[in-house]
Amino acid sequence: MNTLELSPDEKISRIFRAISSPARVQILAAIGKGEACVCHLEALLDMRQAYISQQLMELRDAGLLDTRRDGRYIFYQLTEPRLIDMLIDIGILFGISAADLEALLNTEPLPQCCCPDCLAQLNPMLIDIEEITS
Ligand SMILES: [Zn+2]
């Protein structure tokens, strides 16, 4: 779809349509203001990789996500990180508790994840050794 042909109301609807699924809200929240690879989202959200990839594609098609390749990993990041603030504002506005919103935005490293960010945070020594030997 060519976004240039869309009117402002259509553009805004398109953004909300892209967000309009719990899985995609979870994915956006998981990426947050940083970046995440598919293996991280898979470990965090307990969803199948094919399903996550499909959701990522929809978010990307709507212009909400960018990608960055680093070796064998593809990292996803929000094109506009402030979108996270807006999602939080919507949550607060409609009575979702701060604790619940905080849980949604969990950024703890995952022991069962193989992405470079989690490995580096959980075991800095391991990354040093890998970098030296590779
Ligand atoms: Zn990870």
- The 10s digit of each residue's pLDDT in 63-78 is 999 999 988 889 999 9
CA–centroid distance, residue 108 to ligand 1 (Å) = 9
pLDDT at 1: 53
CA–centroid distance, residue 68 to ligand 1 (Å) = 15
pLDDT at 119: 85
Q: What are phi and psi of 127, to 5 degrees?
A: -65, -40
Its CATH class, for the domain covering 3-107, is mainly alpha
Q: What are the residue boundaries of the structural domains of the chain, listed by start?
A: 3-107
109-121 in b/e form (b: 16+ CB < 10 A) is ebeebebbbbbee
CA–centroid distance, residue 100 to ligand 1 (Å) = 22
In DSSP notation, 44-60 reads HH---HHHHHHHHHHHH
CA–centroid distance, residue 6 to ligand 1 (Å) = 36
Report the predicted TM-score, pTM, of the whole model to 2 decimal places. 0.84
Nearest of 81, 75, 23 to residue 47 by alpha carbon = 23
CA–centroid distance, residue 39 to ligand 1 (Å) = 7
The tokens describing 16, both together, are 């909300």
The tokens describing 21, both together, are 């699924």
CA–centroid distance, residue 10 to ligand 1 (Å) = 35
Q: What are phi and psi of 68, to 5 degrees?
A: -140, 125
Residues with pLDDT less than 70, the chain: 1-4, 125-134
pLDDT at 121: 83
